[in-house]
Amino acid sequence: MLRQPILLVSRSARFRRLVTSLPLASGLVARYVPGEHTADAVAATAELVRGGLAVTLDHLGEDTTDPGDADATVAAYRDLLSSLAAAGLAHQAEVSVKLSAIGQALPDGDRLALENARIICRAARNVGTTVTLDMEDHTTTDRTLATLRELRMDFPETGAVLQAYLHRTEADCRALAHEGSRVRLCKGAYAEPEEVAFTDRLEVDRAYVRCLKILLAGQGYPMIATHDPRMIQIAASLASRYGRAPRTYEFQMLYGVRPEEQRRLAAAGETVRVYVPYGEQWYGYLTRRLAERPQNLALFLRSLISTR
């Protein structure tokens, strides 16, 4: 019930100033973001890999309106990928990229984002890993999927996220359930209007299950991104119903969310990948995590009081 209001309040400049006054080390931020620098991201990856988990890393940033920032993001991914390779971690860690962080929102943004994404895909391939395109609000879905199609011509290993809450997503799942396709299925984290998205939790869950069926019955590699115990249980039984062998699909969860469940699934023989965001621009990411779990508001308020 609080999800949409929190996402709307997060657009206010005052709220943004208040939240970004929190030091990274404060309880709430540190729970979801292991640090601001490449070294922090590599250290978090090493620890997760030691615990039997795979990783995908996101250099935080979105809605870039300055071409220099887009270039800096590309440079950050290149630095990250070579650091992962130097640490011997590139085979267990891939990267997740938001096209709006590498130029999609700029003039001629589709061309720029595609060029930048190509640079990151090449750097990933050179160290033996892959890229998955994150999915942002619904106004960007068509453009992101068009960029995915272009990228896959040269880098067919590139994956993408689909959001079950969008009415269109079952059709997108069907289109992407082919051999060689990697699809990360999540519920969806943005404040979307009911013209394009299910807004009732139960309806979102039903849509998630319909999409799971399409992806698990298909020929691609489904990446099941959820912390919801019911969705995880349903996914596991559908995987067995469709005769999916281990390693032909994987579970994914966010850094700091249900870590004991991440370890439990990995110990049971499932592939589990943890999404690790890092960098200075954690505001948008953090407010979406707050909106998903309004109980976090208490932790957030405590962080504010203890830093004042």
Q: Which residues bind ligand FDA (CB under 6 A)?
A: 134-135, 161, 163, 184, 186-190, 225-228, 252-254, 257-258, 275, 289, 292-293, 296
Between CA 98 and CA 103, with CA 99 as vertex, the angle to 5 degrees is: 130
- Look up residue 93 and give its amino acid: A
Q: What is the distance between the alpha carbons of residues 93 and 85, in angstroms, rounded to a whole number?
A: 9
Nearer to ligand FDA, 155 or 190 (CB): 190
How far apart are CB 177 and ligand FDA at their closest, in Å?
Answer: 18
Nearer to ligand FDA, 275 or 300 (CB): 275
Residues forming the active site: 134, 184
Residues whose CB falls within 8 Å of the CB of residue 12, separated by 6 or more in sequence, listed in order: none
CB 224 within 8 A of CB 249: yes
Tell me which H or E stretch contains 224.
strand 221-225
Nearer to ligand FDA, 78 or 258 (CB): 258
Nearer to ligand FDA, 103 or 277 (CB): 277
Integer CA distances (angstroms), 32 to 24, 275, 279, 299, in order = 10, 10, 12, 12
How far apart are CB 289 and ligand FDA at their closest, in Å?
Answer: 4
Nearer to ligand FDA, 38 or 169 (CB): 169
Listed residue (20, 37, 55, 51) closest to 300, CA to CA: 20
- What is the token pair recorded at 88? 């011997």
Integer CA distances (angstroms), 52 to 27, 281, 291, in order = 25, 28, 30
- What is the token pair recorded at 274? 């943890």
How far apart are CB 8 and ligand FDA at their closest, in Å?
Answer: 16
* Torsion sign, CA atoms 143, 144, 150, 153: negative
CB 232 within 8 A of CB 262: no
